[in-house]
Every structure is written in structure tokens, then in C-alpha cells.
Amino acid sequence: MTGERIDGKAIAADLRAKIAIEAKTLIQEHSLIPGIAVVIVGEDPASKVYVASKGKSAKECNFHSIEHSLPEETSEADVLALIESLNNDDSIHGILVQLPLPRHIDESKVLNLIRPEKDVDGFHPINVGLLAAGERDKALVPCTPAGCLILAQRVLGDLRGKRALVIGRSNIVGKPMAALLLSAHCTVTIAHRHTQDLPSLVKDADIVVAAVGIPQMVQGDWIKKGACVIDVGINRIDAPERGEGKTRLVGDVDYDAAAERAAFITPVPGGVGPMTIALLMANTLTAARRSAGLDDLDFAALLADV
């Protein structure tokens, strides 16, 4: 069996295009322009790339988009003051603070100050609690796991009763991913660095979501035949075969070997990554619509067959 490659890049592009149309309708019918503010503190090159692509995507979605790029030495008090002003700015419906923050700034203090209804990352304890309590429809849900769920549902349909294994227990991916799979009626296992006999858990799983940050850690022959493999990892490794000093991106799963057994598998790059930004746009549109008392859109249903 050679698994079908799940084209996250194409699905994300389709979703962004649908969001751009919905934003235009909101502007025309309700005079409401979805607004997003992205805050970055410091010079981390990877964060700068992410922030630039979030801004570009927001503009393509017809959103009002602002970026606050603050120097590394910005005080915690100044970051908190900026969040306060964005909380009170009616033209801004979504606030995202790019992580990691410099060490002298208390991350949870900053994230907890964002008004939950503007927390398009879904990291505020209110949103975490709503998701954990099964009240997803009232929450804003973290973008990466929300994107993974859309990909899994797209290829498998109803996930009810499936055995899902989430490898990784981060607040950004692992824990919300487990909550989302549970809300989709999967039987969910969470594995982490202290888990014993990971291969046997993988061998049992109909859905594997790998989010550990260890290059190609999940081996192909662990995968159950016919499983759906969602690889969240983005790891840069040396690629001497491409020439001296060259590198390449790989996921947390050994793609080639896993594709021999899986029915569906996401590539790296071009799988989960593009979905994260598309779901950030979706969350911003949701936050804007809720601010006007409008219903949430069903983004999975908006997607075409691409």
C-alpha cells in the first residue's frame, strides 16, 4: 500500500480563498472588517518568518492586519500595556502574540491578559477550559490541532470510535489535539517522553498525530496498515546528499517508510504547516462574526474537493 499524500498546502489555500470571500461578505453586509494584530518581541528568525506569512495571509483574506514588532529588550510592562490597548481596540478582533517570548517576559501573564474572545491562538485558560469541557462551539481553538482535525475528517469522514494516538503533550498541540479528537468521539491515547513501548501504541492506532519535535522518530513499520498519519513536526536536518552544508525539512515521522503502510499521510513540508495559518484566519473571522452576534461558519463544510 502506498498512502495517499494529504495535500495540506492545497486544502489550506482553498480554505483561505473561502475565508476571503466570507470576509468580503461581512464587510459588504455588516460593515465589519475582520482585524488581526500580531505581536512579536525580539529577533528570532523563524518567528519573523511565521509572523510575516501571517500578515500576508491576513491581507489576502481581506482582513485589517497590523503587526507590532518590538525590540528584544521591551519590558514586560510595555508588552502588557500593548495587549491592553489591543483589547480595547474595536477594529481588532484577533490578537496573536508570537511565542516564544524573551525570557524576561512572563508568557502566561501576557497570554492571560488577552481577552478570551480575541484569543485567536486559543491559549487563554478560558478557551482551554471551554475546549476541555466539551464546549468547543463557545471557544476559540488552537490553530494547529484544529487544522489537523480538519485533515483527518476530510480523509476518514466520521472519526467516531477510531483509536487515535497523540504523540506529544504540549499546550499548543498535544493537549488540545487530544481534546478535539475526544470531541470527535475517538478513543484517545496521549503518549510522551515517559511513555513505555511507544511502537505498540502506534501499531494499534487508526489515527496517529505526531507532535514531538524529534526528526523521523516514528518509524514506518510501527504504523498500522490503513492508518491516517498526521505529522506536525517541522525539523531541519543535515542533507549532505544535497551538497555540503545543505539541510532539509523532515517531520516527526519517517515519511517514506510510513507511506508504505498508511492509507493517508501528511508530508513535511506542505501538510499541517499551511493549515495552521489558514485556521488562524478562520479563528479571526469567527472572532469578528461573534463580536457582531453572528453564527460561526463551518469551515470544514466550506472546503471544496481539492
Q: Which CB atom, from 141 or from 191, has the smaller least distance to ligand GUN? A: 141
Beta partners for 231?
A: 210
Question: Cα separations (Å) of 37 from 25, 85, 125, 198?
Answer: 21, 11, 20, 40
Q: Which of 65, 98, 127, 286 binds ligand GUN (CB under 6 A)?
A: 98
Minimum distance between the CB of residue 46 and ligand GUN, rounded to whole angstroms? 8
Q: Which three cell numbers stand for residue 197?
A: 513501548
Chain residue at closest Cβ approach to ligand GUN: 99
Span from 16-24, 91-99, 227-235, 246-254 in contact with ligand GUN (CB under 6 A): 91-99
Minimum distance between the CB of residue 215 and ligand GUN, rounded to whole angstroms? 17
**Which string of b and e fits 154-181 if b means at least 16 CB within 10 Å?**
bbbeebeebbbbbbbbbebbbbbbbbbb
Q: Which of 13, 33, 80, 99 binds ligand GUN (CB under 6 A)?
A: 99
Q: Which CB atom, from 219 or from 269, has the smaller least distance to ligand GUN? A: 269
Q: Which of 12, 40, 97, 218 binds ligand GUN (CB under 6 A)?
A: 97
Q: Which of 32, 40, 41, 96 binds ligand GUN (CB under 6 A)?
A: 96
Q: Which CB atom, from 99 or from 182, has the smaller least distance to ligand GUN? A: 99
Minimum distance between the CB of residue 7 and ligand GUN, rounded to whole angstroms? 21
Q: Which CB atom, from 16 or from 224, has the smaller least distance to ligand GUN? A: 16
Q: Which is it for strands 163-167 and 94-97: parallel, antiparallel or unpaired?
A: unpaired
Tally the C-alpha atoms within 13 A of residue 55's C-alpha that lie toward its C-beta: 16
**Total residues at the site for ligand GUN (CB under 6 A)?**
8
CA atoms of 183 and 234, how far apart (whole Å) = 26
Any idea how long the chain is?
306
Minimum distance between the CB of residue 123 and ligand GUN, rounded to whole angstroms? 7
Is the separation of the CB atoms in 36 and 300 below 8 Å?
A: no
CA atoms of 299 and 141, how far apart (whole Å) = 13
Q: Which CB atom, from 215 or from 257, has the smaller least distance to ligand GUN? A: 215
Q: Which CB atom, from 65 or from 98, has the smaller least distance to ligand GUN? A: 98
Catalytically active residues, by annotation: 54, 98, 121
Span from 93-101, 209-217, 242-250, 284-292 in contact with ligand GUN (CB under 6 A): 93-101
Span between the terminal Cα atoms of the chain, in Å: 22
| 3-state class (DSSP) for residue 9 | helix
- Biggest CA-to-CA distance, the chain: 57
Q: Give Cα 194 distance to the centre of its chain.
A: 25
Asked if 121 touches ligand GUN (CB under 6 A), the answer is yes
- Angle at CA 241, nearest 5°, toward 216 and 249? 35
Span from 73-81, 95-103, 282-290, 292-300 in contact with ligand GUN (CB under 6 A): 95-103
Q: Which CB atom, from 142 or from 267, has the smaller least distance to ligand GUN? A: 142
Burial classification of residue 292, based on how many CB atoms lie within 10 Å of its CB (0-12 exposed, 13-18 middle, 19 or more buried) = exposed
Q: Which three cell numbers stand for residue 140?
A: 476559540
Minimum distance between the CB of residue 38 and ligand GUN, rounded to whole angstroms? 8
Taking residues 166 to 195 in sequence order and writing x for each that binds ligand GUN by CB under 6 A, - otherwise, the string is: ------x-----------------------
Q: Which is it for strands 247-250 and 235-238: parallel, antiparallel or unpaired?
A: antiparallel
Residues lying near ligand GUN in the complex (CB under 6 A) are found at: 96-99, 121, 143-144, 172
